[in-house]
Structure 1
Amino acid sequence: MQVTGTAPPPAPATGPLGAPAEEPGGSATKHARRFGLPVATALVMGNIIGGGIFLLPASVAPYGTVSLVALGILTVGAITLALVFGRLAQRDPRTGGPYVYAREAFGDFAGFLAAWAYWITTWVSNAALAVAAVGYLDVLVPVSHHRWTACLAALVIQWLPALANFAGTRWVGAVQLVSTVLKFVPLLLVAVGGLFFFDPDKLGPFNAGGGSPIGAVSASAALLLYSYLGVESAAVSAGEVRDARRNVGRATVIGTAGAALVYLLGTVSVFGTVAHDSLVKSTAPFSDAVNAMFGGTWGGWAVALAALVSMTGCLNGWTLLSAQTPYAAARDGLFPAAFTRRRRGVPTVGVGVTVVLSSLLTVYNFMAGSAHVFEVLVLVTTFTATVPYLLATAAQLHHLASGRRDEVDGRRLVRDAVIAAVAAGFSIWLVAGAGYAAVYQGVLFLFVGILVYAVMAGRRRRAEG
C-alpha cells in the first residue's frame, strides 16, 4: 500500500539524555511478547468498550433521545479518526502514537503537548473508569453506602490491572483478550435481545433539556466521546505490534467499527427497555435493562459481573497506554528519563506514576463528595483527548500537503485529506461540546505541562552542549 508523505527518520537507539531505547533483554524475556492482529484488535476494542458504555446511557439520558443523534455523529467521527491513525501508523509505526506523529510534523513542543495531554487523558480516564466500576460493584456487593468504602473499592479496581502490567506484556495481552471476549456476552444480550423488548413509550422526550437541539447534541456528544477513547490504542502501542505498518491500521479500523456497532445497538436497547425517568437516576443502566427484560434481579447481577470484568480489562489496557506515550517522549528527552525504564516489555515507572496519580484523583473526588464525579472526569478527559487527536489529524494534513506529487496517488490524496479534515473538525467540535468548566480545568493541566516542557527542554539543550 502506497504511503503519502515523506519517510520517517529511523528511531534513535537512545534518547538525547542517554535514555535507553529498550530495556536490557528487550522483548526477549518470556514475559514480553509482541501483539498480533487479534490481540491488537482486542486492545482497541477492549479500551474502547470499557466503563463508558456501561454507564453513559444514564449519563446522557437527561438530554433525551437527541443523544442518539450525537452517538451516530460520534461514530462517524471515531471511524475517521481510526482511518487517520491507521494511515499515520503506516508512515511511522513507532510506539507513542499521536506524540510521534505531532513531533515528526511540527517539532518538539507539539510532540510534548500531545504526549502531555494524552498522558493526562489516560490517568484521569482510569479514575473515571474506577468510579463507573464501583456503580456496578454495588449491584453485587453494597459498597456505596459510605463514600470511603466506595473509594477503597475504586482504588482496588485500579491497582489490580496495574499489577498485571507489572507482570509484563504477556499478561497484559492475555487479560485483554479474555476480558474483551467476556464483555461481549452482556453487551450482545442487551444490544440484540433488548430489541425484542423495545418499547417506544420508554424513550422519553427527544430534547429533554428543553434547550437548543444543536447544543444538546454537542453536550451529549462530549460525554459520549469518552466511550470512544481508545481508538488510538494500537497506534500508541505500535512498537509492540507485529508487522505494525499493516496490523495497526487494520486493528484500529476493525476494533472501532466493531465497538461502534455494539454501542449503537446497546444504547438504543437500553433507551427502549428502561423508562426514561428511571434511566436518568440509574447507576447501572445495563443491569436495569436486563432486569426489565427478564424480571427479577439475576440478570442484573450477571451483567454487573460482566461489566466489572469489562472495566478491569479496559483499565488493564489503559494502564499500558498511560505508560507508552511518556516512554516515547522520555526517549527523546521530553519527559524525565525515569519513564524509559522497562521491565518485561512494560514501562514500569510510567505504570507506577500513572496509577498513583489516578488514585490520588479518585481520593480527591470522593473527598469532594460530588454526586457527578463520573461526568466531571469524563468531560475533562474529553477536552484533553482532543489535543492529541487534533495534532495527529493536523500532522496527517501536513504530510498530505507537503508530500511530493510523484510520491502521492491523487485519488488517495483527496480521500485522505477529506478524512483528515473531517476528523479535525470533529475534534474541534468536541472541544466546544465539553463545556466551559471542562475546558478551563483542562487548560490548567496543559499550562502546567508548559512549565514541565520548559525544564525538560532546558535540560536537553544543556546535555547537547
Structure 2
Amino acid sequence: MHVTGTAPTSDPAPPATAGVPAAASPHDTPGRHARRFGLPVATALVMGNIIGGGIFLLPASVAPYGTVGLVAFGVLTVGAVALALVFGRLAERDPRTGGPYVYAREAFGDFAGFLAAWAYWITTWVSNAALAVAAVGYLDVLIPVTGHRWTACLAALTLQWLPALANFAGTRYVGAVQLVSTVLKFVPLLLVAAGGLFFFDPAKLGPFNATGGSAVGAVSAAAALLLFSYLGVESAAVSAGEVRDPRRTVGRATVLGTAGAALVYLLGTLSVFGTVAHDRLVKSTAPFSDAVNAMFGGAWGGWAVALAALVSMTGCLNGWTLLSAQTPYAAARDGLFPAAFARRRRGVPTVGVGVTVVLASLLTVYNYAAGSPKVFDMLVLITTFTATVPYLLATAAQLFHLVSGREPVNRARLVRDAVVASVAAAFSLWLVAGAGYAAVYQGVLFLFAGVVVYAVLAARQRRAAVRP
C-alpha cells in the first residue's frame, strides 16, 4: 500500500460552518500508521463487517419461526444487494468519509444529516454490545463463562476493549487485523456451508412456520432479526476517505462484499437448519459448533469452530469500532457533532472510538444486570430500527438526485437506478415494521435524544455566527 506523510501526534480539526463542507485538513493525509485501503482490504472491510457475530448466532435466533427464516434470508439478500448498489452510486457522486451522513446532509440539509449520523452512531455501538454478547456464547464452548452472568459480562467487556486498543494503534493495524480475521472466519463458515450439504437431513428442518400465525408476519419478524447479519453493507462508503480511488473502489467493494457474504449466509444457514435438530437449535448458544459436532461427532469440531467464530467476531468488532467513529468524525467537522469527535490520531478518530466503547460497555453491563435471557435478540432489534434511519435517508437522497434531474444520465441507467433505490427504500420501511413495538419504542427514545443534542449544537453555532 502507498504511504505518504508523517503521522501527527494529534490533529484536532476545527468544525466547518454548518451547511458548508469541511475543507481538507492535515489528518486527511495518511501517515506511517494510517494507510489507504485498496480494493482487497475495502472488500474485506465490507465482508468482515457483514460476516461478523450475527451469522454465528442468528440461525438459533430465527429457529423459533421455523424454516420460514430461510425465506426471510432470501428477501433480505435482495434488499441488501439493492442497498449495496445505492451506496455504490452515492459514493461515486460524493466519495467523502461519512457515508449516509454525507449523502443525507448534501441532499436535505443539516438536520437530516445529523439524524443519519446520530442513528448510525447508535447502531454501531449497540451492535458492538450485541456482537460481544454473541461472542460469549462461543467463548463458553472453549472456557465455561456463562454459568455466572457477571463472568459472562466481564468476558463481553474484554472482547469489546481489545479491538478498541487495535484501533487506537492506527488504521494500518485495523486493516491488517480485518484482512486476517476475514480470511480466518471463512474456515468454519465454508466448512458448514459446503460440508453441511453432504450431511443434510430434511427431517431436522422443523415446521415451515412454527409461530402458527401469518406466514408474512413470521417472515417480517425473522427478517428484522436477520438484518443484523447484513449491517455493514455501507462500510466502504462510511470509510471512503480511507479508501484509494473511492469513486471507483467503494462501489465495487460494496457489491463484491455483499454478494460474497450473501452466498455464504444462505448456504450456511441452510446447512445449520439441516444438520441440527429444530428443538435443539432453538436452545443453542453456538449453532455452528453444534452443526459441526452433528456432522462429524465428538466435540473437537465444535471447539475448532468456536475458536474461529471468536476470531471472526473480534475482527468484526475491530471494523465496527472504526466505523463507529467515522460518521461522528465527519459530522463533527461540519459542526453537527461535538468538536472533540473530529480529533484524529494515526488516522483514527480516537475520541469517537473511546466514547463508543464506553457506551457499548455500559449497555452491556445494563443488559446483563437486567438478567434477560434474550439480551442478544433485543439489542439486535434495536439496531434494526436505528439502522433503517440512515439507510432510508441515503436511499431518499439517491431518489432526490434522480428525480431532480441535476445530473445528465441516460434513460436506461436512470430507470435502473430508480428501481434499485425504490426497492432499497421499501426494504428499509418493511424492516421498521418487522422490528416490533418494543424495539421501535426503545430506538425512538435513542433517536429523539439526538434532537436535544442537535438543538444545543445548532444554538451554539447560531450564537457564534452573530458575535461581532
Q: Structure 2 matches for 1:104-119, cutoff 5 A?
A: 104-119=106-121
Structure 2 runs not aligned, ≥5 long: 1-12
- Encode CA deviations 1:77-104: one digit per residue, 9 max, x unaligned: 0000000000000000000000000000
Provide Cα deviations, 1:308-328, integer angstroms capped at 9, x if missing partner.
Answer: 000000000000000000000
In percent, how many aligned pairs have the same letter?
Answer: 85
Q: Which structure 1 residue ranges, 5 or more long, are not aligned?
A: 1-11
Aligned equivalents of 2:398, 2:260: Cα separation in 1: 24
Hey, what's the Cα distance between the residues in 2 that align with 1:105 and 1:152?
43
Counting only pairs closer than 5 Å after superposition, residues 233-252 of structure 1 correspond to structure 2 as 233-252=235-254
Give the drift of 1:408.
1.8
- 2:122 is matched with 120
Deviates more, 1:105-114 or 1:26-35: 26-35
Decide whether the 8 Å contact of 1:54 with 1:285 is kept in 2. yes
CA distance in 1: counterparts of 2:24 and 2:338, whole angstroms: 15
Query: Is residue 299 of structure 2 the alignment partner of residue 297 of structure 1?
Result: yes
Letter in 1 for 2:84: A
1:220 to 219, 222, 230: 222
The letter of the residue matching 2:357 is V
AA aligned opposite 1:330: A
Cα deviation, residue 27, structure 1: 3.3
Question: What is residue 463 of structure 1 aligned with on the other side?
Answer: 464
1:261-300 to 2 correspondences below 5 Å: 261-300=263-302
- 1:78 corresponds to which residue? 80
Deviations 1:319-339 (A, max 9, x none): 000000000000010000000
Residue 418 (structure 1) aligned with residue 423 (structure 2): no
Indicate yes or no: 2:257 matched with 1:255.
Answer: yes
**Shift in Å at residue 462 of structure 1?**
1.7
* 1:42 lines up with 2:34 in the alignment: no
CA distance in 1, matches of 2:338, 2:167: 20
Residue 3 of structure 1: aligned partner: none
Q: Report if the CA contact (8 A) 1:394-1:424 is conserved.
A: yes
Cα distance in 2 between the residues matched to 1:299 and 1:97: 40
- Work out the CA distance in 1 between the residues paired with 2:337 and 2:307: 38
Q: Which residue of 2 aligns with 1:452?
A: 453
Distance in 2 (CA, whole Å) between partners of 1:274 and 1:21 is 55
For residues 274-353 of structure 1, what are the structure 2 equivalents within 5 Å?
274-353=276-355
Contact 2:14 2:342 in 1 (8 A): no
- Report the equivalent of 1:208: 210
Deviation at 1:448, TM superposition (A): 0.3
* Counterpart Cα distance in 1 of 2:280 and 2:24: 52
Give the aligned residue type for 2:124.
T
- In the other structure, the counterpart of 1:7 is none
CA contact (8 A) 2:15 2:342 kept: no
Sort the Cα spacing of 1:388 and 1:269 in 2 relative to 1 into closer, same or farther, 3 A: same
Q: Is the 8 A contact 1:51 1:307 kept in 2?
A: yes
CA distance in 2, matches of 1:276, 1:56: 14
Contact 1:16 1:463 in 2 (8 A): no
Which aligned pairs between 1:49-68 and structure 2 lie closer than 5 A?
49-68=51-70
Once residues 402 and 20 of structure 1 are traced to their aligned partners in structure 2, the CA distance between those partners, rounded to angstroms, is 25
Q: Distance in 2 between matches of 1:254 and 1:442?
A: 31
- Match for 2:379 among 372, 377, 381? 377
Kept in 1, the 8 Å contact 2:326–2:352? The answer is yes
Please say if 1:440 is aligned against 2:441.
yes
**Aligned to 2:29, what secondary structure does the other structure show?**
helix
What's 2:150 paired with?
Answer: 148
Deviations 1:378-425 (A, max 9, x none): 0000000000000000000000011247x1211100000000000000
SS in 1 for 2:221: helix
Task: Give the superposition deviation at 1:307.
Answer: 0.2
CA contact (8 A) 2:30 2:36 kept: no
- Aligned partner of residue 209 in structure 1, secondary structure: coil
Aligned to 1:8: none
CA apart distance, 1:429 = 0.1
What is the rounded CA distance, in whole Å, between the counterparts of 1:302 and 1:23 in structure 2? 46
CA contact (8 A) 1:19 1:330 kept: no
- Secondary structure at the aligned position of 1:158 is classed as helix
- Tell me if the contact between 1:26 and 1:32 (Cα under 8 Å) persists in the aligned partners: no
Give the AA of the match of 1:416.
D
Normalised by the length of structure 2, the TM-score is 0.95
Q: CA deviation at 1:29?
A: 2.0
Give the deviation of 1:20 after TM superposition. 8.1
Q: Distance in 1 between matches of 2:191 and 2:23?
A: 45
The answer for the alignment partner of 1:4 in structure 2 is none
Measured in 1, the distance between the counterparts of 2:171 and 2:256 equals 22
Q: Secondary structure at the match of 2:144?
A: coil
CA contact (8 A) 1:165 1:319 kept: yes
1:398 corresponds in structure 2 to 400
Q: In 1, Cα distance between the equivalents of 2:206 and 2:415?
A: 42
1:22 positional shift:
6.7
Q: In structure 2, what is the equivalent of residue 195 of structure 1?
A: 197
Number of residue pairs the alignment of both structures matches: 453
Structure 2 SS opposite 1:334: coil
2:159 corresponds to which residue? 157
Which whole-Å deviations, capped at 9, do the CAs of 1:234-287 have from their partners, x for residues lacking one?
Answer: 000000000000000000000000000000000000000000000000000000
CA distance in 1, matches of 2:450, 2:27: 33
Summarize the Cα distance change of 1:346–1:65 in structure 2 as closer, same or farther, 3 Å threshold: same
C-alpha deviation, 1:68, in angstroms: 0.4
- SS in structure 2 at match of 1:346: coil
Deviations 1:108-152 (A, max 9, x none): 000000000000000000000000000000000000110000000
Partner of 1:175: 177
- Looking at structure 2, the residues matched to 391 and 301 of structure 1 have their Cα atoms a distance apart, in angstroms, of 42
In structure 2, the CA distance between the partners of 1:260 and 1:122, relative to structure 1 (3 Å rule), is same
CA contact (8 A) 1:202 1:272 kept: yes
* 1:418-460 deviation line (CA, Å, top 9, x unaligned): 0000000000000000000000000011110000000011111
Q: Please, what is the CA RMSD of the aligned residues?
A: 1.5
Letter in 2 for 1:435: G
Amino acid in structure 2 at the alignment position of 1:293 = M
1:23 and 1:163 map into 2 onto residues whose CA distance is 25
- Tell me: CA distance 1:82–1:175, structure 2 relative to 1, closer, same or farther (3 Å): same
